[in-house]
Amino acid sequence: MLDLAAASTESILHEVARDDLRPSRLEAEAAVRMLIRWAGDDPARVGLQDTPARVVRAYEEWFGGYWRDPVKILGRRFERSGYDDFILLRDIPVQSVCEHHMAAIQGVAHVAYLPGENVVGISKLARLVDAYARRLQIQERLTAEIADTLQHALQARGVAVVIRASHGCMTTRGVHAHGAAMVTRRLLGECAHEPYRSDILKALSASA
């Protein structure tokens, strides 16, 4: 069983460590100027003068998940009030960045769980997906992190996470497989077994 207090403390320590190692904004902007020169353009020309600052601001948004604690997102819970079937939130937008080529990953996540004693507000499921997505990722790990955190934080009887996404690393470069999409899933607890497994996968396929 995951110790949530220890997990939260560990997350805070990781944030402190990252903050200590984090380059300054000026250093980050200088790195962008270097990449512009490497690409063959002049960062001093009018159209590019403000680009390094814009890129750094964009990175703060694209990678904001490093500064969010996923366990805390699920911290406020409510009694399930007698409800004992699965809860499913479909078509949660996923915007992430591939850790191999730093290309965009775009798609949707479907998240379902069988509540134990407590439930969370549905917006928290979307926030959980976003907190993990806004990091350098691979889709397989993203799927597992969302499912594992939901299972442990809520002590859910079961969890199912399915992600369908396109990857810029293979649509804009390399094989140029336009329109290709990757599907990953993780089923835990009772969601991995009948009768819930078939019901959940059927409900997910209706929007996949």
Residue numbers annotated as active site:
98-101, 139, 167, 169
| 110 within 8 A of 55, measured Cβ to Cβ | no
Q: Give the residue from 182, 188, 180, 201 showing the smallest Cα distance to 152.
A: 188
Q: Cite the beta strand spans of 38-98 per DSSP E.
A: 78-79, 87-98
Alpha-carbon gap, residue 12 to 120, rounded angstroms:
23
Identify the bridge partners of residue 108 per DSSP, sorted by sequence position.
93, 164
Residue 16: C-alpha distances to residues 65, 94, 127, 138, 151 (Å): 14, 27, 22, 24, 26
In this structure, what token pair is assigned to residue 160?
A: 């199912």
For the CA atoms of the chain, what is the radius of gyration?
20
